[in-house]
Structure 1
Amino acid sequence: MDRYEEIRKSIINFRDERDWKQFHNPKDIAISLNIEAGELLECFQWKSNHDIEEILKSSKRESIEDEIADVANYLILLCNELDVNLFDVVERKIEKNKVKYPVDKFKGSSKKYNE
């Protein structure tokens, strides 16, 4: 069993032991994913790059890592509920982005593909 599958099963087991599947429909998981992403953003709100570098060297780093884990957990739960292979869709999206953003036109540019 690969590492992703071990983690997915661990998340599902955690949820099922608490009888939370009843609350885990795709809509509510997506909402929770966004809430956790917002909490991750709060870790960086009003901080300069220097402030962030200092936080990452301190004990506060763990709170950022916890929020990243919460985002990942909900993303994995959403993929599970939708029967989506996370790695397959990420690879497919990378290929689409290569077409949208060819290196010769977008290297070093922050422009969107339609600009």
Structure 2
Amino acid sequence: MSDPFKQLHLAMNQFAAERDWDQFHSPKNLAMALTVEAAELQECFQWLTEAQSKDLDEAQLAAVRDEIADVQLYLIRLAGKLGVDIEQACWEKMEKNAKKYPAEQVKGSAKKYTHYENGDV
């Protein structure tokens, strides 16, 4: 893990240990909690137009920032439980995505990669 993730991982471990919450933090439970936090992030944008979602007021932005932090903290905790290096996993996934979505084929398109594998462009 890169240093910022490592520092947050250690802080999350200490936070959970001080509260005796490690007993609840199985990978399954952390993954489930992560989806709840992602839904709370979505809720911040519910009923907003595209334009409004790009121009949040301070209170809206503060709520979004908190939910992004919750999502990231659960990801860090889950990765730590499973021994996943988040930064390395992200770089590897970027490489996979570059192969799935060659820029010259997908530029300006929102189609899923399976459309390109089947020759649909």
- TM-score class, shorter: over 0.9
In the alignment, the residues of structure 1 paired with residue 97 and residue 8 of structure 2 have an alpha-carbon distance, to the nearest angstrom, of 28
TM-score where L is the length of structure 2: 0.88
The 4+ residue runs of structure 1 with deviation greater than 3 A are none
- Are residues 1:58 and 2:58 paired? yes
In the alignment, the residues of structure 1 paired with residue 92 and residue 99 of structure 2 have an alpha-carbon distance, to the nearest angstrom, of 11
In the alignment, the residues of structure 1 paired with residue 19 and residue 76 of structure 2 have an alpha-carbon distance, to the nearest angstrom, of 17
| 2:78 aligned partner, one-letter code | L
In the alignment, the residues of structure 2 paired with residue 39 and residue 54 of structure 1 have an alpha-carbon distance, to the nearest angstrom, of 19
**Counterpart position of 1:93:** 93
Change (3 A) 1:106 1:48: same
| 1:95 aligned partner, one-letter code | E
In the alignment, the residues of structure 2 paired with residue 81 and residue 3 of structure 1 have an alpha-carbon distance, to the nearest angstrom, of 17
Identity of aligned residues (%): 41
In the alignment, the residues of structure 1 paired with residue 75 and residue 3 of structure 2 have an alpha-carbon distance, to the nearest angstrom, of 18
1:5-44 equivalences in 2 (<5 Å): 5-44=6-45
Count of residues paired in the alignment: 114
Residue by residue over 1:20-79, the C-alpha shift from the partner in whole angstroms, topping out at 9 and shown as x without a partner, is: 000000000000000000000000011113332442x32231111111111011100110
In the alignment, the residues of structure 1 paired with residue 36 and residue 54 of structure 2 have an alpha-carbon distance, to the nearest angstrom, of 24
- Are residues 1:106 and 2:98 paired? no
Structure 1: gaps (5+ residues) = none
What's the RMSD between the two structures over aligned residues?
1.4
Structure 2: gaps (5+ residues) = 116-121
Change (3 A) 1:21 1:95: same
- Are residues 1:48 and 2:49 paired? yes
In the alignment, the residues of structure 1 paired with residue 93 and residue 59 of structure 2 have an alpha-carbon distance, to the nearest angstrom, of 35
Check conservation: 2:44, 2:60, Cα contact below 8 A.
no
